[in-house]
Amino acid sequence: MPGARFDRIINERYDRSMYGDLAHALYEGSDFHNLGYWFPATGSLKGACEQMVDRLLSFIPDKTGGILDVGCGKGATTRRLLTEYRPEAVTAINISTKQLATGRANAPGCAFLAMDATRLAFPDESIDNAICVEACSDFNTREKFLYEAYRVLRPGGRLVFSDILVEWWLESRSPARRGANFVRGIPEYRSLFRRVGFRQVEVEDATDRVLVPYVRHYTLFLKRRFDSGTIDRKGYNRGMAALGLTLFWMRHYVVGWALKT
């Protein structure tokens, strides 16, 4: 499958899901679109998504200089970066022009650029730090992105990330990647970073902090909408089926960081 066609399919899939009424309600109009990082007192998916960004930023000890938001979506993550960075220090990239336009409204003053994460249009060693929230598994391929991230990071720079490790059957269905993003587990995932060149890598299995509470929250969300009459039985069953499919194909949810020495 040509790269342009693959990009178009990804764009259409996410533009359709991220701009739908269900996503707007689920994320309380916040324009986030990740599973969140949950604590016992976390009361909303919006709050969990903010905590995900905060968790990843905690992996960057020195927040001077700039940061690159890779796969920025609708700019909610970019907006959250402004709790630690000035707008002029933040650059966000995505392949969806529709999402980039929304991002510019969500995070004024930040630079939003149309760019493929596997072909970064930045000079070698020009980026201080980078963040990628729940996007690596969709790149064609994750390994190409990591090579690019390593290339553009300055020595001492960090890539902080959350990522999803999926079952083989799902990854193997991608005619563009032909299973290239599949990893057998966290040790192999960590080895991928080292193969690219990163020598210091920390990967945390955050499945219990992410997937388990998200499932609980989403189930209650659907039930409330059904009980209130916002969705009918067919809509409720469709939502629960989609949730069940997610549980079936997701193996691990990981967060971590990689340092370029």
3-state secondary structure 46-61: HHHHHHHHHHHHCCCC
In whole angstroms, what is the distance from residue 114 CA to residue 96 CA? 7
User: Measured in whole angstroms, how far is the alpha carbon of residue 63 from the centre of its chain?
Assistant: 20
For the record, the structure tokens of 136 come out as: 């690596």
**So what's the pLDDT on residue 222?**
96
Q: Are strands 200-205 and 111-114 parallel, antiparallel or unpaired?
A: unpaired
59 closest CA partner among 204, 211, 197 = 204
For the record, the structure tokens of 47 come out as: 């709050």
CB neighbour list of residue 9: distance below 8 Å, 6 or more residues apart? none
Q: What is the pLDDT along the chain (261 residues), one digit of tens a residue?
A: 445 555 666 667 778 889 999 899 999 999 999 999 999 999 999 999 999 999 999 999 999 999 999 999 999 999 999 999 999 999 999 999 999 999 999 999 999 999 999 999 999 999 999 999 999 999 999 999 999 999 999 999 999 999 999 988 888 887 667 889 999 999 999 999 999 999 999 999 999 999 999 999 999 999 999 999 999 999 999 999 989 988 888 999 999 999 999
Asked if residues 67 and 83 have their Cβ atoms less than 8 Å apart, the reply is no
Q: Residue 254 is inside which H or E element, if any? A: strand 250-259
Top-level CATH class of 3-200+209-259?
alpha beta
Residue 240, Cβ neighbours under 10 Å: how many? 15
For the record, the structure tokens of 173 come out as: 């269905």
In whole angstroms, what is the distance from residue 59 CA to residue 92 CA? 19
For the record, the structure tokens of 224 come out as: 């409330």
CB neighbour list of residue 97: distance below 8 Å, 6 or more residues apart? 114
In whole angstroms, what is the distance from residue 47 CA to residue 32 CA? 10
**So what's the pLDDT on residue 178?**
81
Bridge partner list, 163: 254
Asked if residues 150 and 196 have their Cβ atoms less than 8 Å apart, the reply is yes
**So what's the pLDDT on residue 1?**
46
Asked if residues 141 and 180 have their Cβ atoms less than 8 Å apart, the reply is yes
Neighbouring C-alpha atoms within 13 Å toward the C-beta of 44: 10
Per the rule left: phi > 0, alpha: psi between -120 and 50, beta: everything else, 223 is alpha
pTM for the predicted model, two decimal places: 0.94
Asked if residues 16 and 30 have their Cβ atoms less than 8 Å apart, the reply is no
For the record, the structure tokens of 221 come out as: 């969300």
Asked if residues 162 and 59 have their Cβ atoms less than 8 Å apart, the reply is no
